[in-house]
Structure 1
Amino acid sequence: MTELGVALGLVMVLEGVLYALFPEAMQRMMRMAIDLPPVNLRRFGLIGALAGFLVVWFIKG
C-alpha cells in the first residue's frame, strides 16, 4: 500500500511540474484532447496504461 501512495504522489509531482513549467503547452494539449474523437482518447489512454504497466513490470521484475 505504501508503494501505491508513493506512485500516486510521484504522478502528482510530475503533473504539477508540467503545469508549472509549461502552462501554455498544457492548455494547447487540453484543447487538442477535446477535439479528438472518444475512440482515439480511449486508444491513447490504453496505450499509456500499458506502457506504465510495462515500466513497472520491468523495474519490479
Structure 2
Amino acid sequence: MTDFAAAIGLVLVIEGAFYAAAPSLGKFMMRQGLAASDNQLRICGLAALAVGVGIVWLARS
C-alpha cells in the first residue's frame, strides 16, 4: 500500500508541475483530447499503460 500511495503522490507532483509551468499548454492538450475519437484515446491509453508497466517492471527488478 505504501508503494501505491507513493505512486499516486508522484502522479500528482508531475501533473501539478506541468500545470504550474505551462497552463496554456495544458488547456490546449485538453481541447485536443476532447476533439480526439474514442479509439484514438483508447490506443493512447493502452500505450501509456504499457509504457508505465514497463517502467515499473524495470524499476522494480
TM-score by structure 2 length?
A: 0.97
Computed over aligned residues only, the root mean square deviation of the Cα atoms, in angstroms, reads: 0.4
Task: Percent identity, please.
Answer: 36
Return the alpha-carbon distance in structure 2 between the equivalents of residues 12 and 49 of structure 1: 17
Question: Which residue type is aligned with residue 45 of structure 1?
Answer: G
Quote how far apart the aligned CAs of 1:30 are: 0.4
2:54 match: 54
Return the alpha-carbon distance in structure 2 between the equivalents of residues 58 and 21 of structure 1: 29
Q: Which runs of 5+ in 1 are unaligned?
A: none
2:4 match: 4
SS in 1 for 2:56: helix
Structure 1 runs, 4 residues or longer, greater than 3 Å off: none
- Per-residue CA distance 1:14-48 (angstroms, 9 max, x = gap): 00010010000000000000000000000000100
1:38 match: 38
Quote how far apart the aligned CAs of 1:57 are: 0.2
